[in-house]
Amino acid sequence: MTCGERPGSTRSMPAPSPGQNDEAAIAKVTELFPDVLSGHKVVGNGSKWISFTTVRNAKWRKDNLVLIGDAAHTAHFSIGSGTKLAMEDALALAACLHEECSVDAGLTAYEAERRPVVQSTQRAAQASLEWFENLGQYTHQDPALFAFNILTRSRRVTHDNLRVRDPEFTQAMDRAYARSLGAAEVRPPMFQPFSLRGLTLRNRVVVSPMDMYVSVDGFPTDFHLLHLGGKALGGAGLVMTEMVCVSAPGRITLGCTGMYAPEHELAWSRIVDAVHEQSSSAIGIQLGHSGRKGSTRLMWEGIDQPLEDVEANWPLVAPSALPYKAGVNQTPRELTVEEMAEIREQFVAAAVSADRAGFDLLELHCAHGYLLSSFISPITNQRTDSYGGSLANRLRYPLEVFTAIREVWPADKPMSVRISATDWLEGGITGPDSVQIAQAFADAGADAIDVSTGQIAPEEKPDFGRSYQTPYADAIRNQVGIATIAVGVISSWDDVNSLLLAGRADLCAVGRAHLYDPNWTLHAAIEQGYDGPGAPWPLPWKAGARAPQTGRTDGPKPRLQLAREGARETGHARWRPNRNSGP
């Protein structure tokens, strides 16, 4: 049985003891709804604020005993799904026992069928639970946007779902969003421009930083020119480079790019110029140092594995002498304060070069267990000097690096910081810590926090799923008041519109979906029937600015297909009432 982690708790109301009425709530309701009550008293029933326990069982069966419904799993009742799950369990169990030739096989099939459906519902319920527990962080919202926020709190209901049900409502929401931004025009939320310092992005889609591992001696190659240039033509407002390393030993692999030689600056400026000249995208650089996760193979040759040629491995440095994978990766040397100052100056030199190369934004990589991230996490930082211990101490070095860069990075150019908002590990960074981390960078002058998670240690247990990191961006944005970039399995334009409108983020970074479709943003515009500002098709491509005929019918779907999809949606696609193929 486990209880989910909270991204950031703002609950301040003391819970009344069991059996007592919540007199404060009764008084508040009386004050808020005098018209409805017309002088009647609000009567308490001794109901309690309880901390909901999400039941998760590693196994749902033992021999011929099986768990179904609440005994197997619970999902917070604010999404109203417990009865449905219990009924579907019963249907699936009956179907599997009919279809399989033994009780054993039937129970195995039942669990295999139901577990993913239940996990998906539990994720949605957890998001809803956390939404209510952190309600205080949304009280500043425009009432219309608050309404959208509550409707989409589990992230299952989206902008487009709501449009199908009530187009006038979503049109009103798009208007409210434009109004809240002081924007001149109503557009799909993702196509509203966004400004940070002197930089205005044409839309709110970011190509997430993605290491391509094809650099030679730290130089970006023609592959990078085509890759980043292609993404810029594909319509995103901001294209981020991969993590660009501030020194040769600070690379993750021999295929990682760098900004530690004058020639690197020149090579990068060629790419930046191409993006600026050929598109209206902005281009940002992500600067980082690999720390204890360095000296490894290219992604497709064995991620996080040391180089096969033992001689070619280079020594690693980190806040503490702890290897990433004991027995696999080498043990790094604990950095001295003098060496830390040296690396800080490498970051500064790289930032100066990045400015000269023409980059529009600089992101400091403080996530994923690389050097700066490993200072922040208590899992990887076990120093006993003033750079270890409390969170404030662990943040000291990353903040020193940030501040030193901010001093040389032009005042009109923005800086973002990518963080891991949770380590997904007992004793590691948690959601509430990430709010403090974001606050510290905001106080130091950061303009946006790019909110990722994990990758600190191989034992992590991430709760992967659609837009699974967004609650952390949400908590940071609404508690710290700094712009956030949400990232992580945000693959549809509908999710982007929904997250922006609900106020969970200011920008959405899309990674792998951009590798699948470099023209992701242009296609999103076509699919929404939008051809206004923020989604400019390159003029030479204009002739292709419509969805091609694929041979698929766009007309009404046959009834059988709808029935199947409905069944799959409710998770009992295998239930065929008249079929009896069991033993």
Ligand X SMILES: Cc1cc2nc3c(=O)[nH]c(=O)nc-3n(C[C@H](O)[C@H](O)[C@H](O)COP(=O)(O)O)c2cc1C
**Residues classed as catalytic:** 370
DSSP state of 307: P
How many residues sit in the footprint of ligand X (CB under 6 A)?
Answer: 20
Give me the least distance between CB of 213 and ligand X, in Å please. 8
Output the DSSP codes for 143-165.
HHHHHHHHHTTTSSS-HHHHHHH
Among 84, 197, 333, 383, binds ligand FAD (CB under 6 A): 84
Number of H helices, E strands in the chain: 19, 14
Residues in the chain: 583
Give me the least distance between CB of 453 and ligand X, in Å please. 9
* Distance (Å, whole) CA 345 – CA 543: 49
Pure H helices in 72-139: 82-99, 103-133
Give me the least distance between CB of 184 and ligand X, in Å please. 30
Q: Does 83 bind ligand FAD (CB under 6 A)?
A: yes
If contact means CB under 5 to 8 A according to the sort of partner, which of ligand FAD, ligand X, none does residue 357 touch? none
Q: Does 156 bind ligand FAD (CB under 6 A)?
A: no
* Distance (Å, whole) CA 366 – CA 407: 18
Other Cβ atoms closer than 10 A to 263: 11
Give me the least distance between CB of 224 and ligand X, in Å please. 12
* Distance (Å, whole) CA 223 – CA 214: 7
Q: Does 69 bind ligand FAD (CB under 6 A)?
A: yes
If contact means CB under 5 to 8 A according to the sort of partner, which of ligand FAD, ligand X, none does residue 81 touch? ligand FAD
- 211: number of CA atoms within 13 Å, CB side? 23
If contact means CB under 5 to 8 A according to the sort of partner, which of ligand X, ligand FAD, none does residue 267 touch? none
Give me the least distance between CB of 567 and ligand X, in Å please. 28
Give me the least distance between CB of 14 and ligand FAD, in Å please. 21
* Distance (Å, whole) CA 243 – CA 293: 13
Q: Does 54 bind ligand FAD (CB under 6 A)?
A: no
Q: Does 279 bind ligand X (CB under 6 A)?
A: no
* Distance (Å, whole) CA 61 – CA 71: 11
Q: Does 211 bind ligand X (CB under 6 A)?
A: yes
Of 215 and 528, which has the nearer Cβ to ligand X? 215
Among 25, 26, 55, 86, binds ligand FAD (CB under 6 A): 86
Q: Does 419 bind ligand X (CB under 6 A)?
A: no
- Stretch of 342-350, 364-372, 395-403, 553-561 contacting ligand X, by CB under 6 A: 364-372
Q: Does 365 bind ligand X (CB under 6 A)?
A: yes
Q: Does 7 bind ligand X (CB under 6 A)?
A: no
| Packing angle, helices 337-357 and 391-408, rounded to 10 | 40
Backbone angles phi, psi at 509, to 5 degrees: -95, 130
Q: Does 489 bind ligand X (CB under 6 A)?
A: yes
- Stretch of 150-158, 176-184, 203-211, 434-442 contacting ligand X, by CB under 6 A: 203-211
If contact means CB under 5 to 8 A according to the sort of partner, which of ligand X, ligand FAD, none does residue 512 touch? ligand X
Q: Does 122 bind ligand FAD (CB under 6 A)?
A: no
Give me the least distance between CB of 460 and ligand X, in Å please. 15
The pair of structure tokens assigned to 364 is 């400091």
Q: Residue with structure tokens 């196509």?
A: 191
Q: Does 422 bind ligand X (CB under 6 A)?
A: no
For ligand X, the binding residues in 133-192 under the rule CB under 6 A are none
Output the DSSP codes for 316-340.
-EESSS--SSTTTSPPPEEPPHHHH
Answer whether 458's CB lies under 8 Å from 379's CB. no
* Distance (Å, whole) CA 383 – CA 394: 9
* Distance (Å, whole) CA 97 – CA 575: 11
Q: Residue with structure tokens 């694929």?
A: 550
Give me the least distance between CB of 65 and ligand FAD, in Å please. 13
Among 25, 56, 57, 70, binds ligand FAD (CB under 6 A): 70
DSSP H or E segment with residue 344 = helix 337-357
If contact means CB under 5 to 8 A according to the sort of partner, which of ligand FAD, ligand X, none does residue 519 touch? none
Q: At a CB cut-off of 8 Å and minimum separation 6, what does 399 contact?
A: 440, 441, 444
For ligand X, the binding residues in 218-257 under the rule CB under 6 A are 242-243
Q: Does 511 bind ligand X (CB under 6 A)?
A: yes
* Distance (Å, whole) CA 141 – CA 150: 11
* Distance (Å, whole) CA 441 – CA 364: 11
Residues that bind ligand FAD (CB under 6 A): 69-70, 77, 80-84, 86
Residues that bind ligand X (CB under 6 A): 208-211, 242-243, 286, 365, 367-368, 418, 452, 487-490, 510-513
